[in-house]
Amino acid sequence: MLQPDQIATVQATLPLLESAGPALTEHFYARMFRDNPELKDVFNLAHQTSGAQPVALFNAILAYARHLHNPAVLSQAVERIAQKHTGFLIRPQQYAIVGHHLLETIRELAPDAATPEVLHAWELAYGQLAQIFIDRESEIYDQAASADGGWRGTRRFRLVHKTAESQLITSFEFAPVDGKAVSAFKPGQYLTVSISHPSLKQHEYRQYSLSDAPNGRSYRISVKREDRPVPGQVSTYLHDELQVGDEIDLLPPAGDFYLEVQNDAPVVLLSGGVGLTPMLSMFNSLAQADHPGPVYFLHGCENGRQHAFARHVADLCEARESRHSFTWYQAPLETDIADQDYQATGLMDLAPLRAALDTEQTEYYFCGPLPFMQAIHRQLKAWGVADCRLHYELFGPHQAL
């Protein structure tokens, strides 16, 4: 347990860390991958290149240090990170490696401030945080293994269906090679694929939202072909290399973003681009449960060629009067028909729908690119929607909106 003077010592270094900025964690990752290159098989290197992961880690370090007196206030962030970690099979001994490089980074970037007292206080603080994660991740591993149809670690699956849903998005349905049942999941959670292939420089883990309701037999993910600014290694492999009949390793479903609503609460599902995948899992699950409350499926994309699952969503809406869909195309094609394929152009503007959407009971779930998420968040907060009714998932390292 950290003593008050040790907490004070750690927090006294915060101005130094803030002045260093994300350069601190960039240095940390560089030295860790240099000395422990095996961890390149765990971390998504694309997030290193973009700078998103160092920024996310830097913000997490600052948040933890600020709340050493009461780390429980960070429980939501801890849960999100722990869920992600189990998708990479993080082990307790890896925390020791990370801790070593964190202390060495402080020593190297701030030699004048890195006194034995400071380093010892940071060692204890990091050890406390690491143990929180180790304990929670152990629980998640145990829960996944003990669930009906569950397992620990990786399990072999076979691709049984591969379906092009749009110009960029393809669905992949996997069934277990052992022929046994698979565990249920909460709509909105993701599945981790574990891939080694000659076309990939490293062993890669990627997490993709499950895009259908649970069925106990198989899992479906729907993956966008990433080609900007550079082609995505894993999405390219899935689209171009993986064929029906091929086998792949999967980890159990996980994630802290999922549908959880009262029996008849109105639900609004908002998505941009491939962000519709967890929304589709929620929409299908609500339809499967014959949810009695109003459900709105709101989606924005570029045009009809990039509009995935359009017919499926329309069919679900036609099956029940309380289900509604509304679509925005940013740049409709000549072949796209207004009021049939889409209802509005440009970015998603919720103002015309406010009378239907804005109630005190409505739960809002949204997912998509960061600018889309920020725009939706601004609109809903301007309506006065409470934070407890705003639920969102940002693909990649988490950021606050």
Please list the active-site residues. Answer: 95, 137
Determine if residue 385 is labeled as part of a ligand binding site.
Answer: no
DSSP state of 342: B
Determine if residue 345 is labeled as part of a ligand binding site.
Answer: no
Pairing outcome for strands 267-272 and 363-367: parallel
* Residues in the chain, overall count: 401
What are the structure tokens assigned to 232, written together? 């995505």
Determine if residue 207 is labeled as part of a ligand binding site.
Answer: yes
Task: Tell me if 235 sits within 8 A of 218, measured CB to CB.
Answer: no
Rg (CA), the chain: 22
| Bridge partner residues of 345 (DSSP) | 329
| Bridge partner residues of 267 (DSSP) | 295, 363
Determine if residue 277 is labeled as part of a ligand binding site.
Answer: yes
Determine if residue 397 is labeled as part of a ligand binding site.
Answer: yes
Determine if residue 190 is labeled as part of a ligand binding site.
Answer: yes
Determine if residue 396 is labeled as part of a ligand binding site.
Answer: yes
Buried b (16+ CB within 10 A) or exposed e, 63-73: ebbeebeebee
Task: Tell me if 201 sits within 8 A of 210, measured CB to CB.
Answer: no
Q: How far apart are CA 14 and CA 328, in angstroms?
A: 44
Helix (H, G, I), strand (E, B) or coil at 322: coil
Determine if residue 157 is labeled as part of a ligand binding site.
Answer: no
- Torsion angle, CA of 65/70/75/76, rounded to 10 degrees? -70
Determine if residue 275 is labeled as part of a ligand binding site.
Answer: yes
Determine if residue 85 is labeled as part of a ligand binding site.
Answer: yes
What phi, psi does 220 have (nearest 5°)? Answer: -125, 135
Determine if residue 322 is labeled as part of a ligand binding site.
Answer: no
Determine if residue 353 is labeled as part of a ligand binding site.
Answer: no
Determine if residue 206 is labeled as part of a ligand binding site.
Answer: yes
Task: Tell me if 215 sits within 8 A of 286, measured CB to CB.
Answer: no
Determine if residue 194 is labeled as part of a ligand binding site.
Answer: no
Nearest residue to 253 via CA among 155, 395, 169, 163: 155
Binding site members for FAD: 190, 206-209, 394-397
Binding site members: 85, 190, 206-209, 273-278, 394-397
Binding site members for NADP(+): 273-278
